[in-house]
Structure 1
Amino acid sequence: MQEQHTQFATMGDGTRIAYRLDGPGHLPVLVLSNSIGTTMQMWQRQVPQLTDHFRVLRYDMRGHGSSDAPAGAYSLDRLGRDVLELLDLLEVDKAHFLGLSLGGYVGQWLGVQAADRIDRLILSNTSPWLGPAAQWDARIADALGAPDMREIAEGFLANWFPASMRAAGDPAVEEFRGMLLETDPRGLAGAFAAVRDADLRRTNTLITRPTLVIAGRDDTVTLASHGEQIAAAIPGARLLVLPTVHLSNVELPERFMQAVLEFLVH
């Protein structure tokens, strides 16, 4: 596997986005997009296997990881355009896209707004709409007013992992706790605003790219019914419901990867 260190790209609004490429340069590109509150490291378990088939492009969404965290509300349009600008910079005409949670929101936007840039689309543990807006306003205020990220991090972890994994002190839980604790509150608040203002329920019917939707049976954030709704809206979309909570790629990595590779490769 050919690896590069983290690099940076400057977007049209001046925000620096951290990204990384792994795998042979002649292979088709697969973009991986993260959940809110995480970094590109959330895909680390998948990269070795994926680079057998793809040139893997990971990035830290604005407000997260090593990317800049500008103050103020982010929009789904801006998050989607970050991906397009990154593809332009790297001279990638078309790529597969796999997004989980907030990354799945970005994937839906790309499927509607930039179908010519997307080959196959995987939307995991995501939703077309997570209203009402008032709950997000409260979470934005909490993020900006919190003395640190500890309480917020524990709330996320309770929604992301089954109680058994948390009680056992699973290394994955500790890894994601670390990502959350290092997240800039301004970045988290900005991303909350993007979710608050996004409603893809009607526009998803315009997606024409081959699409796989993965949902978690026990997901309490982006419910399995939300995945069903996305799959029903997109013509010809496939739906897979795994016995997981929110981070299906971490909780059931082998079954997750089997589904991804069967859809993208076979």
Structure 2
Amino acid sequence: MLLAGQSNNHTWWDPVLADFQEHQLITLDWRGTGDSDKPDEVYTTRGFAQDVTAVLDDLGLRTAHIYGTSMGGRVAQWLAVDAPERVDKLVLGCTSPGAAHGYERSQEIRKALANPAKTDSVLLELMYTPAWLKNHPGPYYVLGDKTMPSYAKGRHLVASNKHDAWDHLPEIQAPTLVLHGTDDVFSPVANAQLLARRIPNARAELIEGARHAYFHEFREIASPAVLAFLAAAEDRP
């Protein structure tokens, strides 16, 4: 199951779906995005994790490998904490344990993103390297769901900002791989080792030169790393 970032729907993963074709893949639209309901109510990363469990239930699946990036990685933490029996293996990408104990983006970045006229251009610079952007004019799949109501965007932002799973991370039982780009300042790379040290049976792999969308730009490194982790874990008695 592939979990997208904040204010994005399932298309976040479209550029790399082919990399995981050996697996049955599940993507979903967060509440507030895509074809999902868009209630104007409090959203939380823990509540999103309950939504993921509901999707597994609806599909009749007892367990799944969970791969979450950015806010999806925050949701994945809660899923592994609250429903450990549903999580086979866990991959946390470009994410953090939350602001209370993690490393957050700078105020300069926050101010830049707050300007609606520049949000997309700022996001692109945070997601991809200049060299990659120069040779890849789009389309881009990580700039948010443009169909979201404004209130839902706000609800997503609050949910991600209030995430704090720190006290519960040592409860995670699933073997865990933490992936992060070394040049990620959107979710600073220091979060990777923080998570890997806090979660039992976890290890971190850093992708040199990658920014926040490491899974796309550096897919030739990232996707094989995930597949190798899943295959090795599956071979355990």
Which TM bucket (shorter chain)?
A: 0.7 to 0.9
Amino acid at match of 1:104: G
Matched, 1:107 2:81: no
Q: Say which is worse superposed, 100-109 or 150-159, in terms of deviation.
A: 150-159
> Sequence identity of aligned pairs in percent?
27
2:152 maps to what in 1? 187
Matched, 1:97 2:66: yes
Pick aligned residue for 1:211 from 176, 192, 210? 176
Distance 1:98 1:177, change over 3 A: closer
Pick aligned residue for 1:44 from 10, 14, 17? 14
Distance 1:152 1:70, change over 3 A: farther
Pick aligned residue for 1:197 from 141, 162, 165? 162
* Conserved? CA contact 1:153–1:180, under 8 Å: no
- Distance, in Å, in 2 between the alignment partners of 1:176 and 1:79 is 21
1:75 maps to what in 2? 44
Report the alpha carbon displacement of residue 177 of structure 1 after superposing the two structures with TM.
6.6
- Distance, in Å, in 2 between the alignment partners of 1:155 and 1:70 is 29
Report the alpha carbon displacement of residue 169 of structure 1 after superposing the two structures with TM.
6.0
Matched, 1:128 2:97: yes
Matched, 1:35 2:1: no
- Give 3-state SS (helix, strand or coil) of 2:173's partner: coil
Matched, 1:160 2:130: no
Greater RCO between the two (CA within 8 Å, min separation 6)? 2
- Distance, in Å, in 1 between the alignment partners of 2:158 and 2:144 is 20
1:254 maps to what in 2? 220
- Deviation readout 1:187-230 (Å, 9 max, x if unpaired): 22111111122112221111111000001101112111101100
* Conserved? CA contact 1:131–1:196, under 8 Å: no
* Conserved? CA contact 1:219–1:246, under 8 Å: yes
- Deviation readout 1:120-159 (Å, 9 max, x if unpaired): 00000000013599x99xx7xx97xx8xx55333332232
Gaps of 5+ in 1: 1-30
- Give 3-state SS (helix, strand or coil) of 1:57's partner: coil
1:26 maps to what in 2? none
Report the alpha carbon displacement of residue 63 of structure 1 after superposing the two structures with TM.
1.8
- Distance, in Å, in 2 between the alignment partners of 1:39 and 1:217 is 25
- Deviation readout 1:72-105 (Å, 9 max, x if unpaired): 4311121011000111111111111000000000
* Conserved? CA contact 1:98–1:104, under 8 Å: yes
Q: List 4+ stretches of structure 1 deviating above 4 A.
A: 177-180
Distance 1:181 1:89, change over 3 A: closer
* Conserved? CA contact 1:122–1:213, under 8 Å: yes
Bigger fraction of residues in strand: 1
* Conserved? CA contact 2:123–2:143, under 8 Å: no
